[in-house]
Amino acid sequence: MDKIIIEGAHPLQGEVTIHGAKNAALPIMAASLLLDGELWLKNLPQLSDIKTMVKLLEHLGVEGDLEKGQARLLSKKSKAVEAPYDLVKTMRASVLVLGPLLARRGRAKVSLPGGCAIGERPIDQHLKGFEALGAKVTLEHGYVEVEAKALKGATYTFDVVSVTGTENLIMAASLAKGETILENAACEPEIVDLANLLIACGAKIKGAGTSTVVIEGVQSLQSTEYRIMPDRIEAGTFLIAGAALPGSQVLVKETSVKSLDHLLIKLKEAGAKLKIGEDSIQVTAPKKLKPVDISTAPYPGFATDLQAQWMALMCLAEGSSVIAENIFENRFMHVAELKRMGADIRLDGHTAFVRGVKKLSGAPVMATDLRASASLVIAALAAEGKTEIGRVYHLDRGYELLEKKFRSLGAKIKRVKG
């Protein structure tokens, strides 16, 4: 298994260009199942999750060509409706094919994603929404099956704000008969990106990015070309890394500034200097980092996908901070690893109490999930000495050319094949 080796305490200097958003690309690729005709995508990140989604779509009768950040996806006439366990187990976002398959082929069968490293993550909200649109849902032998001769528009209020749940229902409702109103919908920018793609294909969607989304079903959706929005989590990761070590100055380019509002406020509070352009942000690390509390929440709150990285930063602050994780129940697995590097963190339920230390020191550590791995990279870049990070395949699910990008900023980081 590959390892990443980092020789820390070298300030970062330079600029980095942000890739397309994984969490926008995945639902948009799944939406190809809804179209009559081809979907041409640009600015796709080159990540293992994107390849997994292409494999899944091919399994479902989509002709897929993926090359260098571009894809052509053509949904053929096919009766395939099943997403097998082997694919779903490596990528939970496979559930995003449920809505399109149901709307287009009248049936979908997806292996239940089951437990995963960051908590239980049920999909009951997706299923209740499909039921509201008239689908029959059955759970059997580890698979969930949804079926409907024709979907009918309805009002559905989510009990829990769900990003992929909102996306699945927007996709299903786009081809349903009549009007669907989704209440308590998630407001993430990736949902807006999906809605914009669907609108470009002929869908009638209003209110995406707010908690009420109204979809007027149409008969068919047409071919289009679309550029995926920039990845705000990748951008956030580089900004946090750029704030961690005095002497660092990093310019993050081709990003969506608006989508990072909450993080930017927190970075300023921590003492980082920010220069904000139209689609770029420059961060200069403070001499002394101030402790800043965060509490994760659905967008526009602090993103749970940046919580682990923020914790790495707070380990180096002068003072104590409190980090509350409100989205996932088991998203603190990086804590044990950060402690191996000398961090002072106490956990109490879904809250972490972080007392800043003078320095972190390099150690052998293990990546446990995608964003936890990013937090270990940030900690290692700032730490004194050598850190070896194992199980880096987690990182490859969400960060394209991570070592290369950090190396271009002057970091001493390399991957060792194993």
CA distance 129 to 152: 11
Phi, psi of 124, deg, nearest 5: -60, -35
Closer residue to ligand UD1 in complex, CB, 168/255: 168
Binding-site size for ligand UD1 (CB under 6 A) equals 22
The only residue of 55, 59, 89, 121 in contact with ligand UD1, by rule CB under 6 A: 121
Q: Which 8-state DSSP code applies to residue 160?
A: S
Q: Which of 10, 126, 334, 405 binds ligand UD1 (CB under 6 A)?
A: 126
269 lies in the binding site for ligand UD1 (CB under 6 A): no
Are 363 and 6 a contacting pair, CB within 8 Å?
A: no
Give the range of 158-166, 200-208, 209-217, 345-353 binding ligand UD1 by CB under 6 A: 158-166
Q: Residue 231 interacts with ligand UD1 (CB under 6 A)?
A: no
Yes or no: say if 98 and 108 are a contact pair by the CB < 8 Å rule: yes
Give yes or no for residue 400 binding ligand UD1 (CB under 6 A): no
Identify residues 326-345 at the interface with ligand UD1 (CB under 6 A): 327-328
Please name every residue paired with 412 in a beta bridge, in sequence order, or none if there are none.
7
Q: Is 122 in the site for ligand UD1 (CB under 6 A)?
A: yes
- 171 DSSP assignment: H
Pair 331, 325: CB distance under 8 Å? yes
Of 370, 368, 378, 338, the closest CA to residue 239 belongs to 378
Residue type, 6: I
Nearest to 149 by CA among 165, 158, 161, 136: 136
Residue 183 within binding range of ligand UD1, rule CB under 6 A: no
Q: Are 199 and 226 in contact (CB under 8 A)?
A: no
Query: Bridge partners of 162?
Result: none
Report, in Å, the least distance between residue 288 CB and ligand UD1. Answer: 31
Q: What angle do CA 392, 85, 120 make, to 5 degrees?
A: 65
Figure out which of the listed residues 9, 54, 56, 163 binds ligand UD1, where binding follows CB under 6 A. 163
Using the rule CB under 6 A, which residue among 94, 164, 174, 237 binds ligand UD1?
Answer: 164
**Applying CB under 6 A, does 226 fall inside the site for ligand UD1?**
no
Binding-site member from 4, 9, 26, 194 for ligand UD1 (CB under 6 A): 26
Query: Closer to ligand UD1 at the Cβ: 190 or 403?
Result: 190
> If we measure between CA atoms, which residue out of 243, 288, 287, 295 comes closest to residue 264?
243
Task: Give the Cβ contact number of residue 324 at 10 Å.
Answer: 15
Catalytic positions are 116
We find the least distance from the C-beta atom of residue 100 to ligand UD1, in angstroms, to be: 15
Binding string, residues 43-72; x marks residues near ligand UD1 by CB under 6 A = ------------------------------
Residue 208 near ligand UD1 by CB under 6 A: no
Task: From 51-59, 117-125, 202-210, 258-266, give the range in contact with ligand UD1 by CB under 6 A.
Answer: 117-125
Min CB(131)–ligand UD1 separation in Å: 12
Q: Does 305 bind ligand UD1 (CB under 6 A)?
A: yes
Q: For 316-366, list the strands marked E by DSSP.
A: 320-324, 344-348, 351-355, 364-366
Q: Is 110 a binder of ligand UD1 (CB under 6 A)?
A: no
By the 10 Å C-beta count (0-12 exposed, 13-18 middle, 19+ buried), 193 is classed as buried
Binding site for ligand UD1 (CB under 6 A): 23, 26, 92-93, 120-126, 160, 162-165, 186, 190, 304-305, 327-328
